[in-house]
Amino acid sequence: MKARTSKGSRTPEAELRQINAFLDAIVENIPDMVFVKDARTLRYERFNRAGELLLDRSREELLGKTDRDCYPKDQAKAFRKGDLEALQTGKLVDIPEEPILTRNGIRWLRTKKVPVLGDQGEPRYLLGISEDITARKNATERARALQRELAALVTNARDAIISWDLNGLIVSWNPAAEAVYGKPAEHAIGTPVESLVPVAFRTSFRAAQKKVQNGMQLAPMVVRRLREDCEIEVEESLFLIRDESGRPLRLASMARDLTELARLKHAAEVLAGSDHVPPGSGGELTHSSRMREVLKIADAVAEDDRATVVLLGETGVGKGWLAHRIHAKSARGKGPFLEVNCASLGPQLIESELFGHERGAFTGAVQQKRGLVEAAAGGTLFLDEVGELPLEVQARLLTFMDRQTFRRVGGTCPLKADARILAATNQNLMRAVTAGRFREDLYYRLSVFPIEVPPLRERREDIPALAGRLLEGLQRRDGQKIQSLPNDVVTLLQRHGWPGNVRELRNVLERALILSRNRSIGIEHLPVDMRTHASEVSGSPISLCEAERLHIGRVLDSVDGNRSRAAKLLGISRSTLKRKMTLWRRKDSGFTSHRPSAASPKSRKLRST
């Protein structure tokens, strides 16, 4: 007897159709791509709506096709490999990410593939579900790129950047921190950050940390820090690092070593010597038409803050002062002005002084050091006695001037620095080029705008005002009462030949100021050779003693201060010469030969005897 179903009941076939319709609706509307392949031919048999949208292809274009029909050969080969792995193992295969070429470009998918078995356990279909992770992948790539950029910035930063956890233990330490604090990262990470702070400043350091943790933004502060066993001065900024939820995670510091900047400035001053008259000393006061023309040209070229200028003239004419003036009147006037005397150091030292060096670049290079080119960025670098630069350094200087790029000694990474180059020389550079001592290409690069500064003997009308300002500057420096020069002294100064130019004038005034002992400067305080003109000024002849002193001074100059040779030429014994010089020293607290020279070591020795 045939079984009947009760009213309202359904047959198993109807139940199955309802379940399949329900499952079809789910598959059709889920956001992930669902596809089915025939296990034998690996042809697509089904695609849902998400698959159409993701691949930007209709089902009619895909059904009955294989991956080879739809994708490039290499990509189709990769897809087939995953299919076979699932069919052969009979297990689910999870492919975390794979690219797929669509009409809208590359999409990144996370795909899971699993075989569907038949009644006999054989694979009949391959079921795949793909999640579109393109947005997540791109976001991850952007985050990774940002991390790489930040890591590169921290690694190559000039400032020391360190961070520490809320317990005060250092967790990160960039290469610049190694140079500033004098210890490698492996010795610093894990140690208390307060080990970098002198004991006397730790209370204020803790207070600053607390303010930053409470959300305050502190302005950069000049503070004291420890480097090995010595204290240094740094400009430091403290800031807070938060986690994703906004809670404090770490504290960090960016510190710039002011000690190094001060060292560079001091080194520049020492290396530069005293070839210039500092601004404000009166060098800008001129009654000479020739000097007025020089200043007019210098002021005009100052407006182009990239023009290369070479200052020509004898030693001591004020080339350094003119370089200061060009810098001050240019758009770079608020930037640094650094100078170096190229004749004062050997090839390796001048190269390191100009371009800096990396740690270990040569014996004694115990830490990284910035050079003057780098320190002068945004300002001006003045190269005095540029004709004395070694040829190998000339090549590096030319590269920097052309490209504004350089490498530190021992370094491989190219660096940039926007520094204007001003140069000066007392040589004939064209002769140096002919002799092979100076590069021709560098000569023409430097000679874009040559300015020749006339010697002091060719602008004697400037001497009264210039001497007055120099004397005023010396008196202010020593805290003395300001006094002017008597007319007879000024007249003698104007009659002198000044082989040492402005530098010699300054030295003569400084000596006269010392000998006058805060009294009015007189003719007797000037060097002996200048006093020979005193009779012409005062109308009275000089004494026999003064004439003898003048003659001995000239003889000493002719033998470069050698007393034994001078005594032989004078026809007296060395002891007699020494006795006369001692007598003169007691009389006026100094002996000056006929031609004083600030640059001659033997002359300095002679004045000190």
Residue 31: strand pairing partners: none
User: Looking at residue 587, what is its pLDDT?
Assistant: 58
Residue 383 banded pLDDT, cuts 50, 70, 90 = very high
User: Looking at residue 223, what is its pLDDT?
Assistant: 86
Q: What is the CATH number of the domain that holds 354?
A: 3.40.50.300
Residue labelled with tokens 């023309």: 293
Dist CA 97 CA 111 (whole Å): 7
Write out pLDDT tens, residues 294-305: 998 998 898 888
In a domain, 449, yes or no: no
What is the rounded average pLDDT for all residues in the chain? 82
Q: How many CA atoms lie within 13 A of 455 on its CB side?
A: 12
* pTM of the predicted protein model: 0.49
Q: Which of 99-103, 469-473, 557-561 has the highest mean pLDDT?
A: 469-473
Same domain, 413 and 279: yes
Higher pLDDT: 64 or 549? It is 64
Give the residue from 387, 473, 465 showing the smallest Cα distance to 432: 387
Cβ atoms of 86 and 42 within 8 Å: the answer is no
Structure tokens, 431 = 């002769």
Dist CA 526 CA 504 (whole Å): 12
Same domain, 19 and 133: yes
Give the residue from 382, 288, 285, 290 showing the smallest Cα distance to 328: 382
Mean pLDDT of 320-331: 91
Residue 267 banded pLDDT, cuts 50, 70, 90 = low
Write out pLDDT tens, residues 42-59: 999 988 988 888 888 888
User: Looking at residue 589, what is its pLDDT?
Assistant: 44
E strands along 258-352, which residues?
309-312, 337-341
User: Looking at residue 590, what is its pLDDT?
Assistant: 41
Burial class (CB in 10 A: 0-12, 13-18, 19+), 118: exposed
Same domain, 579 and 527: no
Same domain, 171 and 237: yes
User: Looking at residue 266, what is its pLDDT?
Assistant: 53
Reported residue count of the chain is 609
Write phi, then psi, for 8 (nearest 5 degrees).
Answer: 90, -10
Same domain, 508 and 569: no
Q: C-alpha 474: how far from its chain's center?
A: 35
What residue type is assigned to position 454 of the chain?
A: P
Same domain, 293 and 406: yes
Structure tokens, 533 = 């003109």
In a domain, 249, yes or no: yes
In a domain, 152, yes or no: no
Q: Which of 21-35, 428-442, 528-542 has the highest mean pLDDT?
A: 428-442
Residue 283 banded pLDDT, cuts 50, 70, 90 = very low
In a domain, 147, yes or no: no
In a domain, 441, yes or no: no
Same domain, 61 and 210: no
Dist CA 309 CA 556 (whole Å): 40
Residue labelled with tokens 């079809």: 24
Which percentage of the chain shows pLDDT scores above 90?
Answer: 21
Same domain, 295 and 415: yes
Dist CA 504 CA 342 (whole Å): 21
User: Looking at residue 431, what is its pLDDT?
Assistant: 92
User: Looking at residue 533, what is its pLDDT?
Assistant: 56
The DSSP bridge pattern shows strands 380-384 and 420-425 to be: parallel
Higher pLDDT: 604 or 374? It is 374
Dist CA 514 CA 525 (whole Å): 9
| CA 535 vs CA 492, 523, 530, 532: distances in Å | 10, 11, 11, 7
Residue labelled with tokens 């579109």: 132
Final residue of a structural domain among 507, 542, 577: 542
DSSP sequence for 85-154 = HHHHH-S-EEEEEEEEEETTEEEEEEEEEEEEE-TTS-EEEEEEEEEE-HHHHHHHHHHHHHHHHHHHHH
User: Looking at residue 238, what is its pLDDT?
Assistant: 93
Is pLDDT at 251 greater than 90 in this prediction?
yes
Burial class (CB in 10 A: 0-12, 13-18, 19+), 151: exposed
Same domain, 223 and 188: yes
Mean pLDDT of 185-203: 90
| CA 51 vs CA 35, 37, 587: distances in Å | 7, 13, 109
Write out pLDDT tens, residues 500-550: 898 889 898 988 888 887 778 888 888 877 776 555 444 445 566 766 776
Give the residue from 458, 381, 388 showing the smallest Cα distance to 419: 381
In a domain, 9, yes or no: no
Give the residue from 71, 57, 63 showing the smallest Cα distance to 38: 63
Residue 276 banded pLDDT, cuts 50, 70, 90 = very low
Is pLDDT at 494 greater than 90 in this prediction?
no
Is pLDDT at 8 greater than 70 in this prediction?
no
- At 564, which helix (H) or strand (E)? helix 563-570
Same domain, 419 and 280: yes
Q: What is the CATH number of the domain that holds 535?
A: 1.10.8.60
User: Looking at residue 285, what is its pLDDT?
Assistant: 57
Structure tokens, 130 = 């793909």
Other CB atoms within a 10 A radius of the CB of residue 76 amount to 15
Q: What is the CATH number of the domain that holds 216?
A: 3.30.450.20
User: Looking at residue 542, what is its pLDDT?
Assistant: 57
Cβ atoms of 505 and 470 within 8 Å: the answer is yes
Dist CA 263 CA 267 (whole Å): 6
Structure tokens, 355 = 């371009």
Longest CA pairwise span in the chain (Å): 164
Q: What is the CATH number of the domain that holds 599?
A: 1.10.10
Is pLDDT at 609 greater than 50 in this prediction?
no
Dist CA 449 CA 432 (whole Å): 19
Same domain, 368 and 402: yes
Dist CA 372 CA 397 (whole Å): 12
Dihedral over Cα of 83, 86, 92, 98: its sign: negative
Exposed e or buried b per residue across 216-254, where buried means at least 16 C-beta atoms within 10 angstroms of its C-beta? eeeeeeebebbbeeeebbbebbbebeeeeeeeebbbbbb
Cβ atoms of 371 and 271 within 8 Å: the answer is no
User: Looking at residue 265, what is its pLDDT?
Assistant: 57
Give the residue from 271, 343, 282, 309 showing the smallest Cα distance to 502: 282
Write out pLDDT tens, residues 208-217: 999 999 988 8
Write out pLDDT tens, residues 79-95: 899 899 998 888 899 98
Same domain, 18 and 82: yes
Higher pLDDT: 16 or 3? It is 16
Higher pLDDT: 1 or 534? It is 534
In a domain, 568, yes or no: yes
User: Looking at residue 206, what is its pLDDT?
Assistant: 92
Domain span including residue 218: 157-258
Cβ atoms of 374 and 356 within 8 Å: the answer is yes
Dist CA 452 CA 449 (whole Å): 10
User: Looking at residue 121, what is its pLDDT?
Assistant: 82
Dist CA 277 CA 292 (whole Å): 16
In a domain, 4, yes or no: no
Cβ atoms of 607 and 532 within 8 Å: the answer is no
Residue 152: strand pairing partners: none
Residue 9 banded pLDDT, cuts 50, 70, 90 = low
Final residue of a structural domain among 527, 542, 557: 542
Write out pLDDT tens, residues 461-472: 888 888 888 888
Tell me how many domains the chain contains.
Answer: 5
Is pLDDT at 411 greater than 90 in this prediction?
no
Mean pLDDT of 426-453: 91
E strands along 228-307, which residues?
230-242, 248-257
User: Looking at residue 259, what is its pLDDT?
Assistant: 65
User: Looking at residue 422, what is its pLDDT?
Assistant: 94
Write out pLDDT tens, residues 104-128: 788 888 999 999 888 888 888 999 9
Is pLDDT at 600 greater than 70 in this prediction?
no
